[in-house]
Amino acid sequence: MANTYVDYTATAGQTDFAFNFPYLEDEHVTVEINGTATIDFTIVTSPATKVVLNSGASYGDIVRIRRRSQPDQNLVDFVNGSVLTESELDRAYRHNRYLAEEIGELNDQSLQIEAGGLNWDAKGLRIKNVGQPVDVQDASTKTYVDTQISNTITGASVEPPKFTFTGNGVDAVFTFSPGVELDGDTLYEVAIDGHLEEPTVDYVIDADADTITFTTIPSNGANIVVIKRGYSVPVTGGVVMTQEERDKLAELDTAGGITEAEREKLTALVPYPVSTNDGDHLVYEGLGSTTVANKKLLVKAAASPSTAQLSFTQSFYQDRINDEFNRILSDFYRFSYRSTTRDDAVFKSLTIGNHAGRDVESPPGTPTNEESGWSVNANNELIQPYNTVSVTGFASPDLYDTYDAMVVAKSAGTDDDHIGWVIALDRGAPNDDNANTPYDSYICVYRSLNAEQQPLIYGDDVGVNVYYNLGLPGEKKLAGNSTDFTDVYANSAGGSGWSAYDGCPFKIERRPTYIKIWAIDDTANTPEWDSSSWILIANLDLTSDPDLTKFQNPASWGLMAQSQPNCSWGDLYINAPAINKSTITSNPDPNLSSYVFDLETNKTYIRQNNNWIQKAGVSIHDYIDSGQLLYDIAGRTLSFKDSGTINKLTSPRLALDSQPSNFTLQAGHDGEVIRADSGCSTITFDGNYGGGFRCKILNHSGASITLQSAGVTRFKDDTGTGTITLADNRMAECIGNGLNSGNNISVIITTIS
């Protein structure tokens, strides 16, 4: 292991790089990025020694932190008659020792003669930054060799050079200018006065000397022509392949994957794109372009084909978000943590562990399961009604080491405590949801409105804080920001707590080696991902802190709150890789965002403060290109984008559904044939169906059925009662007419034959 340097492969924006070798002066610590020295850094020595770059490194940068103890300077100068102190002697000795260590490591890493031999030994490693060969015995680079192989197989990208000389009856040797690099007589075509000469017999080529020597001296005035033909170079009048294409062909040929016949067909080979996601297909980038991109065949979005159907699409999307939060309620792991930091009666009654809040007496004598109170409200927000004494929340069943996420924390309660996000949670007992031990461990970020500078419940009650194991043994603060986050709503300052506070959006960038956390104060909705309003709270290094290194592995994400009633989370966005995949989608489907698109007007809508508003600067065309399919997740309509225009292809075939009892017709029944069987006597219409909704109801109940509207009148018969009687063996065809904000239905009754 290196003693005088450490290497890192940087993540995107990484600034902190730890090192542990000793040094004498700050000037002796140097930083190189991709082999180039930089002075734009500082050294931090507490709590751990590290280099901090002024500007974050780019993804994949090779960063080397090296000690170079200035061999050209003496750190100690002894003078006759001076007192030799221990510190000066030690300093002089360490300077020499460090220099020796640095030289020794450089020597160990240098190219050396093999043991017991006379040849250089690279120990199986590659040699980089080699120049292009000139002489015959020069070392060759991979690019040079690949080019020669490619030229051999597919032809050079330039015409073969021709050289001409004139004989003088005296000289047998002629010099090429420019020089030649192919050393072989048969690689050249040579003619004197139109007569082809025989290689090796009539002439010899010396590529090192750049000369041709004739066996018989050419006569005075003889016309000598030399053409470099190379290795059976095919002459093509078509498109010559690029270097990338030739490299790919050489790679396939080396692997034995190309027959001679296939090689001839691939003379004008197109590039080989590499798939980065399941479902990628090839799309040319624009009319007349030869550039090929990897894109998904099908893009999913809440995309209304017409404005008349827009309100239905928006309603559907709200229901879909509601379903996603309900999945959290049903599928996610629930926890409630209690630490040892509190000493009052309620806390003493709790069991330290993963489910301390399942049987809390708060107030005393009133058992409450703090893990059971969660629900989804009418605004599609996940809410927790209890003023919990434990840190309670959810964690995802799937594990991730990479994701991007945004969520906004809110509360209608007047308290001023914790609401936040679980960034990474490692289950202590992953196969037992009810185990109190071994303890879980996790990282969270939360907002607290409390103004008191003390650990009121768990952790700091000021601003935004990042904690490890909040409410569990080993609890410690990792980062925080109280300067940019107001405390005017704090109860202790006379404020009304969270009920008067608009909300706190969080943004998380989770990667295997680091976690970045942003937040915004007093804001009701999450802004765009790259908005300048985000405030960076922390950039956690998961490689150095022993408590955090476990989170380099995949872990759960989730939501948390503590001591805050009526808390809620909205605008949940998470962009994570598919299970068993390693990278997230750089431009995810818009169904992962909060957009609803109107294809007829090319307008985009987003839900804010429980209202749909138009979102300027965003279009469905930002997510789909010509050659891709668009699937509307609301209306289940398939469209195709061709030459910049989105055209509807098809709507689904009608599906059969049987109903043996009374039911309410929902927007989700669109495209269905519903058979009303015996036991069904009433069908209620109570939904936003949208223009173009289509459903057929077949009465096979054996008696008449009443079609009735709930809430506003959806339709009227001749008597204006708002009900319709559907006789036995009759069919009611229900069509959404787009009136009354998409609520109204036109009913056509026909006889079943």
pLDDT (tens digit, 9 = 90+) per residue, 422-433? 999 999 999 898
Is residue 588 domain-resident? no
* Listed residues 108, 126, 153: the one ending a domain: 108
Question: Residue 251: inside a domain, yes or no?
Answer: no
Beta-sheet strand order (sheet of 211-214): 173-175, 211-214, 203-206
- Domain contains 101: yes
Q: Is 583 part of a structural domain of the chain?
A: no
59 shares its domain with 78: yes
Q: What is the pLDDT of residue 564?
A: 85
List the CATH number of the domain containing 481.
2.60.120.200
Based on the domain organization, do 513 and 623 belong to the same domain?
no
Domain total of the chain: 5
Residue 571 has a pLDDT of 75
**252 in Cβ contact with 259 (< 8 Å):** no
Tell me, what's the pLDDT at 636? 81
Indicate if 547 and 410 belong to the same structural domain. yes
Asked if 10 and 65 touch (Cβ cutoff 8 Å), the reply is no
Residues of the chain with pLDDT under 70: 1-2, 149-158, 231-279, 286-290, 339-351, 361-367, 378-381, 451-461, 578-593, 609-610, 651-653, 711-713, 716-721
Considering the domain architecture, whether residues 691 and 732 belong to the same structural domain is answered as: yes
Same domain, 383 and 503: yes
- 172 and 59 co-located in one domain: no
- Ramachandran angles phi, psi of 95, nearest 5°: -60, -45
Cβ neighbors of 511 (< 8 A, separation 6 or more) are 11, 12, 401, 402
Q: Rounded to an integer, what distance in angstroms lies between the CA atom of residue 535 and that of residue 8?
A: 27
From CA 168, how far away is CA 214, in angstroms rounded?
Answer: 13
In a domain, 434, yes or no: yes
**CA proximity to 347, closest of 391, 386, 393:** 391
Per-residue pLDDT at 62: 92
- Residues 348 and 301 both lie in one domain: no
414 shares a domain with 320:
no
For the record, the structure tokens of 378 come out as 């009418």
The answer on 543 and 400 residing in a single domain is yes
In a domain, 373, yes or no: yes
Q: How far apart are CA 64 and CA 51, in angstroms?
A: 10
Q: What is the pLDDT of residue 456?
A: 40
| CB-based burial, 718-749: b 16+ in 10 Å, e otherwise | eeeebbbebeeebbbebbbbbeeebbbbebeb
Residue 554 lies in a domain: yes
pLDDT of residue 652: 63
Which pair of tokens denotes residue 352? 């330290």
Query: What DSSP string runs through 481-507?
Result: E-TTS--TT-GGGT--GGGG---EEEE
CA 557, chain centre distance (Å): 15
User: Residue 211: enclosing H or E segment and its boundaries?
Assistant: strand 211-214
Q: Is residue 131 part of a domain?
A: no
Strand-pair partners of 254: none
440 CB-near residues (< 8 Å, 6+ apart):
335, 337, 354, 425, 426, 427, 428, 472
Residues 343 and 442 in one domain: yes
Residue 621 and residue 706 in one domain: no
CA distances from 704 to 40, 722, 724, 729, 746 (A): 84, 16, 10, 9, 19
Task: Tell me how far apart the alpha carbons of residues 466 and 476 are, in angstroms, rounded to a whole number.
Answer: 9
In the block, residue with structure tokens 């798939």: 275
For position 746, which CATH number holds? Answer: 2.60.120
Which of 88, 108, 128 is where one domain is finished? 108
Q: Residue 505: what pLDDT?
A: 94
Q: For residue 74, what are the domain limits?
A: 5-108
> Same domain for 327 and 341?
no
pLDDT at 276: 59
Rounded-to-integer distance, Cα 628 and Cα 694, Å: 27
Q: Cβ(176)–Cβ(224) under 8 Å?
A: no
Alpha-carbon span 620 to 603, nearest angstrom: 8
Read off the pLDDT of residues 701-712 as tens digits, 9 standing for 90 and up: 999 999 988 766
